[in-house]
A = this chain, B = another copy of it.
Amino acid sequence: MITEELRVDTGGRSLTDLTEALVSFCAGRGDGLVHAFCPHATAALVLIEVGAGSDCDLAVWLEEHLPRDDRYRHRHGSVGHGADHLLPALLGAGVSIPVRDGRPQLGTWQSLVLIDTNRENNRRRILLSFLSG
């Protein structure tokens, strides 16, 4: 298995599109399974369409269902940071995608997106692993 570490600067954005990095990582590797993993307790990885409003819709959904207020038992960081800690449990910290001829078999409108509502840390690591067929 080949694993590479991707350094991501979210620039404070809640959503960062990692599809290009995923495609580059798989190129030339033939058939297999690619696994993207977010080794952080306050961020998640999902597949979602970007650029047609759904990324904003997800952000709104998260604000409604994980409000950034003082309801959380978790008290580190700024008010609402407890919400960030529920993200990986609800959305997941990893995604697996089959690869054929070095191309991840994403649907036309699927993008690999890092969800990171934690404004206090812009630097994230993502682990991309390839299991050969």
Contacts and interface: CB of A to CB of B under 8 A. Distances in A.
A68 interface: no
A96 B98 contact: no
* A interface, size bucket: 35 or more
A127 B42 CA distance: 26
Q: How many copies does the complex hold?
A: 3
Given A72-B57, A82-B53, A37 B96 contact: yes
A46 B129 CA distance: 20
Nearest to A82: B57
Nearest to A40: B107
B107 A41 contact: yes
Contacts of A133: 1-3, 131
Given A40-B107, A72-B53, A98-B1, A33 B90 contact: no
Contact of A57 (B41, B57, B74, B98): B74
